[in-house]
Amino acid sequence: MKVARAVAGRLEELDISIATAESCTGGMIASELVNIPGVSNHFSEGYVTYSEEAKERLLGVRPATLQQFSVYSAECAREMAYGVRKAAGADIGVATTGIAGPDGGSEEFPVGLVYIAVAYKNKITTRKFIFSGDRYRIRYAACKQAFRLVLDVLG
């Protein structure tokens, strides 16, 4: 994935590290990163936190956040990004949460809804997307957008 290589190059230029916290993308971001030779200098760990319990235990997402806003929310994505950055001791934390389908959607939370957050320095940037297509296409689109958001945040 070209955008993943661009992120790896930018991490190298800035000599910074990244960690991933993935729910709906299920490790796809981490997988794309580890396809790039030399990325181990900048990527040391990633978490697939598919369950609410894993988000709480591994990333420090607050139960109150999940109860008030749901797992499919900007608030959850922000806490995941911050939590993975802190847990990994990384410069950047990137997180995804959403509904890849084909089941599980509702009027409030449709299939294809994905929140992506990037924690860098003292700021967390979050974006909401609604992707279409089958499960793989939604996950792939979310992965690409996560890398694009990292590039935007890094400037």
Work out the average pLDDT over 17-33. Answer: 98
**CA dist., res. 89 & res. 62, Å (int):** 19
State residue 15 phi and psi, 5-degree precision: 50, 55
* Local confidence band at 92 (pLDDT 50, 70, 90 cut-offs): very high
Cβ-based neighbour number of residue 68 at 10 Å: 11
Just give the CATH number of 2-154.
Answer: 3.90.950.20
52 pLDDT above the threshold of 90: yes
pTM of the model: 0.96
Work out the average pLDDT over 58-70. Answer: 97
Alpha-carbon distance values, 47 to 2, 17, 22, 108 (Å): 22, 15, 6, 27
* Local confidence band at 103 (pLDDT 50, 70, 90 cut-offs): confident
